[in-house]
Structure 1
Amino acid sequence: MWTVAAILVGIVVLVVLSRRLSEKTSPPGPRGLPFIGNILDLQRERRETVLLRWKEKYGPIYQFTSLGMTNFVISDPDLIREAFSKVETTDRPTNIIFSLVMADKGLVFSSGELWKQSRRFSLHHLRNFGMGRSTLETVIQDQVQELIDDVLAPNVGKPICIDHSLRVAVVNIIWRIVASKKIDRTDTAALQAMTSFDEFDSFKSLFIVVLMFPVLLRLPGWVTGMDKVRQRFRESVKTLMRPAIQEHEETVDLNGEPRDYIDCMLQERSRNPELFTKRHMLRCMMDLFIAGYDTTTSTLRWAFIYLTLHPEVQRKVQEEITNVVGKERPPALSDRTRMPYTEAFIMETQRMANIAPTGVEHVTREEIQLGGYTIPRGAQVISLLMAVHMDEKHFPEPEVFRPERFLDEQGRVKPNRALMPFSVGKRSCLGEALARAELFLFVTGLLQRFTIRFPDGFDHDLSCIEYKRLIRKPTEYHLVIMENV
């Protein structure tokens, strides 16, 4: 009798000690409901808003649960750099929804050896095709000039929404690298495919319910709903991606000089068919295509908002363009080093816009130690970049738009390690060099010739499109374009 009692007491003591030890090695965080955790909290408003509120309560590293997954949120720049420099944090989450849209493959959401080889392969070949080099400069300049000649100049003095034309211009830059192709502004099929990719965010509520209750996929109504999602995805792929691959398959020289990224993938598939499957190729193309226009276009749209809300900033950028470039030639990437204020303006736009406020989730493949806490294997790690960018410790008066914060006393660009719009570490943005080039050339190309303002009586309230949850995309607005005198 006493032996049984002693054993029970020992078990209780071990459980209590184990919990206390776990509390010491795990960060604080909000309590969640059984099984679903804090998922409902994150559905009531924008995700980054909830995470920012929890950050104020629990500190620079905290945890929450969602559908059985433990999530660790980091908002300290040094901890983010430390975490994402580890090979143990390079995996991505996966679920049945990801599989539905082939996100278990590709460049953004793949993990392990597939991701490692694909990233190395893509970086190598994209650099060969001029990403971040002057060889791509002409392609960007041509799209800037087309936007000016075909859209802006004919509408001087009129309120105009340039969202559509801007997206096509940015798409054509990456599509040139990927497929040696160009999308026409009147190509309704291609434009509809682009719109379909955008609309996947609007299905998020459906996805969440399916993840909570996978058994629903066996019910006719839910099967029909998911089939509609699958069909829309397949139509988008069928319209843009598959025809490009098929055309290249018929004309590629597997042993010759590749014309573009698709040729490179086909050549690699001939050598490594198990890894570079058609499914993987399609998703790689999609990742480059979507990431290549969505984030850059959104950043440019925020840039035009800030230029319009702060006309004194717009004048300073224009003065720098006039002094360095003049009006006889288009701005070039070689001008960037002599245009520190313009660079500072772009950096401040990226800080304030927070296009990807939480980055893309990482998953730990092994247990790691971070900030005095233990992060177990299989946990998601989220970088709350918006909290970093809006932290007064790193950026005094963070709510104020002030490009000068990125300039030193001599007016030279002063980098800040807390600014990380492209994330950091082993899975930082693959197209960072291209995006930086595009932002500079579009901003300077347009302001060299035009001054922009909002229509009389309108001011943008800096609100975001609500259904776009992964990217902070500003709500629609019109601009009045005026020729510089």
Structure 2
Amino acid sequence: MEPGTTLTFLLLLGLLLLFLLLPRRGGTPAPLPPGPPALPLLGNLLQISPFHTLQSLLKLSHTYGPVFRVFLGSRPVLVLKGSAVREALVDNAEAFAGRGRMPTIEKTFRGHGVVFSNGDRWRQLRRFSLTVLRDFGMGRKSLEGRIQEEAQMLLQELRKTQGKPFDPTYHMSSAVSNIICSIVFGNRFDYQDQEFLELLQMMNESFREISSTWSQVYDMAESLLQSLPGPHQRIPKLLGKMREFIARRVQSNAQSLEPEQPRDFIDCFLLQMEKEKDNPSSEFTMENLELTTLNLFFAGTETVSSTLRYGFLMLMKYPEVQEKVYEEIEKVIGPHRPPTIEDRPRMPYTDAVIHEIQRRADLIPMNVPHRVTRDIIFHGYFIPKDTDVYPLLSSVLHDPASFKHPNTFDPSNFLDESGRFRRNEAFVPFSAGKRVCLGEGLARMEIFLFLTTILQNLQLQPLVPPAQLPTDPLESGFGNIPPRYQLCMLAR
């Protein structure tokens, strides 16, 4: 062998041996996200107060950054703050499109229904639900007319108070719920219908229970508490009674179904079940029908009605804002014609006020939990498949980099220097990405039409000086529950 060839051979052999002797990096291609040390079984219960879950997570972000990991019991959860929320849900939409666990409601849903399902089940149910909602008018003139009619019926009910103090909770729940009821059940309910009022009461109670301190404790210590008595046992009972009502409606629809003339969401689902009865991979089952209907009924009622109740509170606390909205209504719509969606672009101040109400209501502050659908490197960290994710929507809605006055109620957060409405990517009350709220278009239409119809005709009057009005949530956990209050509505 030539000297040059020998030298080359020895060099290559040495490099090979060096490669074989070097320590290998096993497992993850990048480090796991940072986070506080966790205890066995309890996880980070000592660092995360169930009384102030969101505030605890925001405080931890000051130490560990906008992407960090905590343990709820033995369950690892990725927490996202600020701009990292949009980077995950929008820029990496498919990877963050899973639905994470909510132990307090798992006994009811068990991974079924459009909101709490995953994988192909979720894709089938979401695609179908969006199609049916659009077929029944979501985002169209036909549904706008239905909301306008309901707004006039609500106005009649509010006038019956004759300027006397009352709690607006069930007035607003009834009106808002009647819109989604007309889609899923094919009819509206009278405001005095006892069965309807009982349903709304159960819905209100379950939303409050899911958002209570005890539910936050249960989410963090499920393995220790699941067999013990406590408030967490009430949630499945409340949701179960609501599901029983839906099951009765499904049976009634099945007995009178006319395939050529579907009346509502339930009819359409029943027809799809029949169409796919021989398909073994079909997700159109009775369980998914009942639980998807419960998803739509619950979300389509509680979110908008809570937002409107919070809006009334803010408009009474800032009477100058209420008066300015009324002046814009007078100028653009006048005193007699019902408001329409076409009025909204010509009412920049009202539009800004509505956006600010939603931003400050911060209704689902930690979002509905997400889940990572595949291994992913995010912000330089390795996030394993099936990791639950808390994208903190509240941190986006109160981001000082996006809003001039993030911690006060100020419509100018959505207005430019000329008073024109200004859109903002940080406005995410409906979440973002693949799991964005199914009914966003419907909710936006409802909030505008209900609010402008009421303010066109009635003045909101508090029972105490505006500065004394409560603004802290009744409960703050999964949801921010508006405080209970009374008001008077006086004729204009």
Runs of 5+ unmatched residues, structure 2: 1-21
AA paired with 1:161? D
Structure 1 partner of 2:170: 164
How far 1:106 moved relative to its partner?
0.6
How far 1:176 moved relative to its partner?
0.4
Larger radius of gyration: 2
- Counterpart CA distance in 2 for 1:225 and 1:77 is 35
- Counterpart CA distance in 2 for 1:379 and 1:114 is 19
Aligned match for 2:200, one of 194, 199, 204: 194
Higher helix share: 1
How far 1:210 moved relative to its partner?
7.5
Matches within 5 A, 1:50-449: 50-77=56-83, 79-84=85-90, 85-94=92-101, 98-150=105-157, 152-200=158-206, 201=210, 204=215, 207-208=218-219, 211-213=222-224, 217=227, 230-238=236-244, 240-254=245-259, 256-273=260-277, 274-449=282-457
TM-score w.r.t. structure 2 length?
Answer: 0.87
- Identity, in percent, stands at 33
* 1:155 alignment partner, SS class: coil
How far 1:379 moved relative to its partner?
0.8
AA paired with 2:115? V
Structure 2 partner of 1:4: none
Matches within 5 A, 1:438-477: 438-457=446-465, 459-466=468-475, 469-477=477-485
How far 1:280 moved relative to its partner?
0.6
Structure 1 partner of 2:33: 27
- Counterpart CA distance in 2 for 1:154 and 1:398 is 38
How far 1:27 moved relative to its partner?
2.8
How far 1:18 moved relative to its partner?
7.1
- Residue-pair matches, total: 460
- Counterpart CA distance in 1 for 2:410 and 2:167 is 26
Structure 2 partner of 1:9: none
- Counterpart CA distance in 2 for 1:172 and 1:95 is 28
- Counterpart CA distance in 2 for 1:96 and 1:457 is 41
Structure 2 partner of 1:7: none
How far 1:356 moved relative to its partner?
0.8
How far 1:46 moved relative to its partner?
3.1
* 2:481 alignment partner, SS class: coil
- Counterpart CA distance in 2 for 1:248 and 1:358 is 37
RMSD: 2.6
In 2, are the aligned partners of 1:83 and 1:370 still within 8 Å (CA)? no
In 1, are the aligned partners of 2:89 and 2:434 still within 8 Å (CA)? no
How far 1:40 moved relative to its partner?
5.3
- Counterpart CA distance in 1 for 2:187 and 2:111 is 27
In 1, are the aligned partners of 2:371 and 2:389 still within 8 Å (CA)? yes
TM-score w.r.t. structure 1 length?
Answer: 0.88
How far 1:128 moved relative to its partner?
1.0
In 1, are the aligned partners of 2:203 and 2:302 still within 8 Å (CA)? no
- Counterpart CA distance in 2 for 1:48 and 1:99 is 22
In 1, are the aligned partners of 2:66 and 2:84 still within 8 Å (CA)? no
In 1, are the aligned partners of 2:67 and 2:84 still within 8 Å (CA)? no
In 2, are the aligned partners of 1:193 and 1:237 still within 8 Å (CA)? no
How far 1:88 moved relative to its partner?
2.2
How far 1:78 moved relative to its partner?
5.3
Structure 2 partner of 1:3: none
The answer on 1:44 being equivalent to 2:50 is yes
How far 1:192 moved relative to its partner?
2.0
How far 1:143 moved relative to its partner?
1.8
